[in-house]
């Protein structure tokens, strides 16, 4: 039984000028054998992209890629004909499957975009590439855990090729949320902004919490504008 904090300051970091990126797990030029992922959760990158800049067209295979915008607007184009703009409240899922090429750019010429890029290993390889996007209202996340992605697409969530549930929540005050974990399941909680107490761990923006062998996850906000993502994982 354990609740282990991955502090924001201990993450990998790359600043390319146009892109300032923090890596919760090993990614690109950052390698840490102790932080290669958590179950099928492989990447959580916190990215800030300068106005008018972005990632040129590049390819992916066999990965479930989720983009979660915190501030600003992210523009997406891909090789299966999708073009979209993702804003706070939106969740984007891209199944790379047998192969997809895409680009991501800051939609604004004046303001930076701040977003989380999340990679989850799929439970099936070589599937047909696909894209989906949905807006989730703040009211549906405030004071509760809102399911935004899942392996069965239930309750209006976006479908992903993995037996994983992804929840988003906006928290304030002293309300405590509890998420029970089924036997054999584990959880990762990422603090998007604000501060919280996760089980007995005190955490702030950018921190992550790995929970294994526990019957439940307890979440209490310590700031009025706390936002978290919770991953219920096999």
Inter-residue contact 168 to 177 (CB < 8 Å): no
Closest C-alpha among 164, 180, 204, 202 to residue 40: 164
pTM for the whole structure = 0.97
pLDDT at 174 over 80: no
pLDDT digits (tens, 9 = 90+) for 102-154: 999 999 999 999 999 999 999 999 999 999 999 999 999 999 999 999 999 99
What is the predicted pLDDT for the residue at 107?
A: 97
Q: Counting every residue, how long is the chain?
A: 234
Inter-residue contact 113 to 71 (CB < 8 Å): yes
Percent of residues, the chain, with pLDDT higher than 90: 97
State the sign of the Cα–Cα–Cα–Cα dihedral 57, 191, 157, 72. Answer: negative
Helix (H, G, I), strand (E, B) or coil at 140: helix
What is the predicted pLDDT for the residue at 31?
A: 97
Closest C-alpha among 57, 95, 54 to residue 72: 54
Place of tokens 């009211």: 139
pLDDT at 101 over 80: yes
Structure tokens at 33: 């054998």
Domains along the chain with CATH numbers: 12-135 (2.60.120.10), 138-233 (2.60.120.10)
The Cα–Cα gap between 111 and 84 comes to: 18
pLDDT at 33 over 90: yes
pLDDT digits (tens, 9 = 90+) for 179-217: 999 999 999 999 999 999 999 999 999 999 999 999 999
């Amino acid at each position: 039984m354990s609740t282990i904090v991955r502090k924001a300051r201990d993450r990998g970091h790359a600043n390319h000028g146009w892109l300032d990126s923090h890596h919760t797990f090993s990614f690109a030029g950052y390698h840490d054998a102790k932080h290669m992922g958590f179950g099928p959760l492989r990447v959580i990158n916190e990215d800030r992209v300068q106005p008018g800049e972005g990632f040129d067209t590049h390819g992916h295979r066999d990965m479930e890629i989720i983009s979660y915008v915190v501030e600003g607007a992210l523009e997406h184009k891909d090789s299966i004909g999708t073009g979209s703009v993702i804003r706070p409240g939106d969740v984007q899922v891209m199944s790379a499957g047998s192969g997809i090429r895409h680009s991501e750019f800051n939609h604004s010429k004046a303001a930076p975009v701040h977003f989380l890029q999340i990679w989850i290993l799929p439970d099936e390889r070589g599937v047909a590439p696909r894209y989906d996007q949905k807006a989730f209202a703040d009211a549906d996340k405030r004071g509760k855990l809102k399911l935004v992605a899942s392996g069965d697409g239930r309750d209006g969530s976006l479908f992903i090729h993995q037996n994983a549930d992804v929840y988003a929540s906006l928290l304030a005050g002293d309300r405590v949320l509890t998420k029970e974990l089924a036997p054999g399941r584990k959880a990762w909680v990422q603090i998007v902004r604000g501060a919280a107490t996760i089980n007995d761990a005190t955490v702030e923006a950018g921190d992550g919490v790995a929970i294994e062998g526990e019957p439940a996850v307890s979440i209490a906000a310590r700031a009025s504008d706390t936002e978290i993502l919770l991953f219920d994982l096999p």
